Amino acid sequence: MQRKRKTVGVALGSGGMRGIAHIGVLQVLEEAGIPIDFVSGASVGAFVGAAYAAEMDLYALGRFAVKLRRRDVLDTPNPFRAGVFSGKKFQKLCALVTDNRSFSETCVPFWCSAVDLVTGETRYLHEGSLSEAVRASIAIPGLLRPVSSDGTTYVDGGTIESIPAEILRENGADVVIGVDLSICAPYAPKHPNAYTVAFRSVDVMRAAIDSLKPCGADVVIRPDVSFMGRLVPHDAARCIAIGRSAAAEAIPAIRELLGVGHF
């Protein structure tokens, strides 16, 4: 009797534009024949995860990312609202790469994390429009406006959980692969601005939370994309390449967990 293979979930972490590295990670997992049965994402991880779940070709997505510019991602700033940027452009980009699909139309089950600003709890969005859910997940506090839906207000899913791994295990994943983009190395900018201070503060907060509550993934892939800014797409090709390299290093460990040498 043929042994039933283990199911695999991939949890894509938050990290702003550094999340372009997720594309390279997913490319290598597919090239190596690693089955992906479930996907989850927080913030930018939700964006890439939604595109994958909606069957967007990963190499086309990479070419799309390389062409992105600041004006394609960010709206005109308005500092007197609940967020400096409205997030409308990001939602339109998500609608484009997901072909306006809903969760019910994905090729694999997908969960998108967001934080309920009222209760402070993480919610895992799994119904309705993919682009609307992703817009809630990327609502970086103070920078992108919160999303009001179903009687609550949502902000960035990575605020208290940078890698949404446990939701995959709870829904049947035997092996969970996490992709961690958080970098909390010493940081001393010569000319800090509101954005660098905000992102650095979030990095410090998340590092403290992660030290108390590990993400729960069986294998964690950590591409070093610290050269990349959080809001402006810069050198996306390099970012994808680093994601590919980090994923390639993890393939032997993933195969060992799955109990197979190759597929």
156 a catalytic residue? yes
Q: Which residue has the tokens 């139309």?
A: 105
201 a catalytic residue? no
Contacts 24+ apart (CB under 8 A), 89-92: 90/47, 90/134, 90/135, 90/138, 90/144, 91/131, 91/132, 91/134, 91/135, 92/131
Select from 247, 243, 263 the least CA-distant residue to 20.
243
Select from 16, 5, 9, 77 the least CA-distant residue to 42.
16
Give the separation between CA 134 and CA 131, rounded to whole angstroms.
Answer: 5
Residue among 14, 37, 129, 156 flagged as catalytic: 156
HSE-CB at 216 with a 13 A cutoff on CA atoms is: 16
Residue among 14, 40, 43, 113 flagged as catalytic: 43
Q: Are strands 8-12 and 38-42 parallel, antiparallel or unpaired?
A: parallel
Q: Which residues are catalytic?
A: 43, 156
